[in-house]
Amino acid sequence: MVIQVQDYSDYREFLKDFHNYKKQTVSGWSYRLFASRSGLSSPNYLQLVMQAKRNLSEEKAGKVAQAMSLGRLEADYFLAMVRESNARSPEEELQAHKDLLRSLRKLNTTQIKSSQSEILDKWYYMTVRELVNLNDFRFEPTWVSEKMFGMISELEADEALSFLKAAGWIRQRAKGEWTTSEPIVDTGEEGFHQELVNRYHSDTLKYFSDIVHKVPADQRELGLLTISMSSKKSLSSKARYAVFKTRSLVG
């Protein structure tokens, strides 16, 4: 069993599982040893933290992260969980939540480099890339075009397959099956010209809106929901949705 901090949303639960894992794998591991390696004078302090009888300050959390040998991104996520738990105002909680999501994204995605931005030149490149993950995928332009309900021609499908292969976005395994080279990719928060990303989103929405009328209702899931809420609840809902989206992609 591998304990990964990004699988948790509660830092206390992560500490419990990490401690139990160490007890099973490291001879002599104890609360006292864990506290000592974290530079804590009280041998049972971490035990009380795990039991929610004490809070872990951000300063102490940094020392605990070092004791657990967390990498930089893992430590950032751990500290964000601690800050969110310790938040004393909605503003502090929201900022900590943003930091948590930013760290989670960096942990679980591979960012597209500016030199690789060509994958956003055509809206269907990324869609074709995802088709590779289907069990019945075939590296054939005709199959790809039909799978996309004719949204792209066989010529465009052939172009996309050739580009994805040459650029290294998809690869062929030893047994012959195809797979994506990276499970999740992201444009990141900075480093891309916003106009390029906006055009990609606009083109994708345009082509998908055109296909709605061509796909039978029993073969698609499409719905609209309109609700009213306060600005405070709106921010909270956006944050929860962001967590759901990120965890769904990596899970």
The larger pLDDT score, comparing residue 50 to residue 226, is at 50
Q: Where are the domains of the chain?
A: 5-108, 114-220
CA-to-CA separations, 146 to 4, 29, 155, 157, 170, in angstroms, rounded: 40, 58, 12, 10, 20
Tell me yes or no: is domain 5-108 CATH 1.10.260: yes
Q: Which amino acid is at 233?
A: K
* Residue 126 clears pLDDT 50, i.e. is over it: yes
Measure the CA–CA gap between 114 and 247, rounded to whole angstroms: 25
Q: Which of 111-115, 191-195, 224-228, 242-246 has the lowest mean pLDDT?
A: 242-246
The pLDDT tens digits for 173-213 are 877 889 888 766 666 655 556 777 788 888 888 877 877 77
Give the pLDDT confidence score for residue 249 in this predicted structure: 45
- How many helices and strands, by DSSP H and E, does the chain display? 11, 4
Per-residue pLDDT tens for 26-60?
999 999 999 999 999 898 999 999 999 999 999 99
- 180 is written with which tokens? 């994506």
pLDDT greater than 80 at residue 137:
yes
- Distance, CA of 83 to CA of 77 (rounded, Å): 10
Please tell me the predicted confidence (pLDDT) of residue 47.
94
